[in-house]
Chains A and B, each alone.
Chain A
Amino acid sequence: MSGFRRMAQRWRGAGFATVLLVILIAVNLLLNPTRFHPSAWGALIGLAAPLIGAALASAPVILAGRGGIDISVGPLMGFVNAIVIQLLFLKLGMSSPLVIVPAALLIGAIVGAANGFLATIVRIQPIVATLGTYLILTGMTLTILPAPIGPAPGWLKAMAGPWSAVPLALIFLFWWLVRQTPYYDQLMAVGSDDRAAYTAGVPVTKVRFIAYVMTGILAACAGLMLTALIGSADPNIGPTYTLIAIAAVALGGVSLAGGRGGLAGAAIGAIDIFLLQSVLTAFNVSTYVLQIAYGVILVVAVIMTALQERLSGRKG
């Protein structure tokens, strides 16, 4: 009983997104049984992975509260994509995962640290600070890689095929470990109320800074998943992920005010958007209408989450 309640408590924020997930899976199975057949799951997850990764990456800074947001997640994915293919693979001829993965994660950590420095130590508003990083990264990506180029190493492409669940599983394992450390509680406390966190002895600036670094590292993972999916480098795809990832996070019940929600919710939100896309394309709906549908779903989801909270009698 208490276990069930605890589950209900945990999923309450993502409640609407979970209901939507079940409906969308059912509709997709009806419309397109071959595409959703278990034998196709590898490719299917690979197709959804960059969006899920981008949503997961966006979550930590949003959880940290006080307007925390990182809109440079998309361009960072594109930047990692360009560096990995153009510089490491084609120019330097390095294809080993033991070089490419650490290099990508290091780039992510550095960009995340730069964002964290601007947003938490220099105290520029996060949206402005990361807008700066957004533009810088977009420009740098286009400088390194003016036009799409390929291919990608074979092992990386397999990460969008049969092994597509591996990177996501690793991210969840990482987050599960984070949740077992004092840092997670501090992050949620800071996101919930930073003044109270300070009075409770939580090192607020440090906690937020680490959130930006984590976002950077996760965005680099998403960049690798994007590279795996497209099997090449393309300077124009990355930035398109930023806004849709934030939509996925909000849809998944992560409060943009911070301190509420989690990575599971963000992932569900991203899967919802992916499945919705899949349903609408099955009906041959134009991409313009797709955008309208995203917007409507997002607004409805946020309203539903707010209603749910009000109905469950929260005072906070």
Chain B
Amino acid sequence: MADRATLSVRGLMVAPGASPVTQTIAPGEIVGLAGLDGHGQERFLKVLAGLEQPAGGGVTIDAPTGARAVTSFRKAVASGIAYLPRDRRATGIFPTQSVLDNFAVSTLSRDRRFGLLSFAARRRRYKAYREKLSIVAPRPDASITTLSGGNQQKVLLARALALEPAVLLLNDPTRGVDVATRHVLYDVFRELAADGMALVILSSEIEEILLLCHRVLVFREQQVAAEITGEDMKSDTVIAAMFGRAA
């Protein structure tokens, strides 16, 4: 596990003219992002990942080693932020590659021994995550496309976790994933948070957010319409905020 770090969002404008968002996401916290599709929650998450530029304000990551501004995807990765993309088929898996290659692509240089790659080391690393996430795959060198959707998603999660991030950003991680696998993933997310990782989960399913998150930011018209915590975390309140009605 990497060092713990706090993600600070200061005066961040998702779109020009939207009211700015200021948030602090602490280690061990699971924050949910909700909203009707296209209301800015996905853009917000991508700004956190450094994949998109905000209309104003900024994101910094405060680690014990010092604070760093997250201005690009590369800087985000280097500062300990991992991002799990939404569209598994379009921006996640490499269909022509094996499970093992798909797992290792973000962390290739960790298997170096004297400048060259050690495939045994890579296999060992994969094995640890395979057990942790209970990935069901026939062989590490099988093509990733032979796996079920849920297991492909677990491989992608393993890829992100292999970076040993301090902050994990998940873009609708259980989309198209079967119920049993979902619960495995929920347990993993809770464990990661318990170990001190900060998680931000965008989900299109309110139930999932209510089940997992400590608090939820509901987006409406490119800004945070409501921040719901504790007792108020019920689907009625979230839905009301999504549609812009007072609960």
Contacts and interface: CB of A to CB of B under 8 A. Distances in A.
Nearest to A190: B94
Interface residues of A, number: 30
Contacts, number: 85
Interface string A170-202: 000000010011100110110111011111111
Which 3 pairs across A and B sit closest by C-beta, in order of nearness? A316-B95, A182-B108, A192-B94
Interface residues of B, number: 34
Given A185-B101, A197-B105, A199-B91, A316 B96 contact: yes
A187 B21 CA distance: 39
B71 interface: no
A6 B159 CA distance: 23
A9 B91 contact: no
A72 interface: no
A188 B117 contact: no
Interface of A: 2, 5-6, 9, 177, 180-182, 185-186, 188-189, 191-193, 195-202, 255, 259-260, 313-316
B93 interface: yes
Given A2-B139, A314-B143, A260 B105 contact: no
Interface string B156-189: 0001000100000000000000000000000000
A178 to B, nearest CB: 10
B120 interface: no
B124 interface: no
A200 B145 CA distance: 18
Contacts of A202: 105-106
B141 interface: yes
B145 A314 contact: yes
Given A189-B101, A192-B96, A316-B96, 8 more contacts: A2-B139, A6-B141, A180-B117, A189-B97, A191-B96, A193-B93, A201-B106, A316-B145
Contacts of A313: 146
B141 A201 contact: no
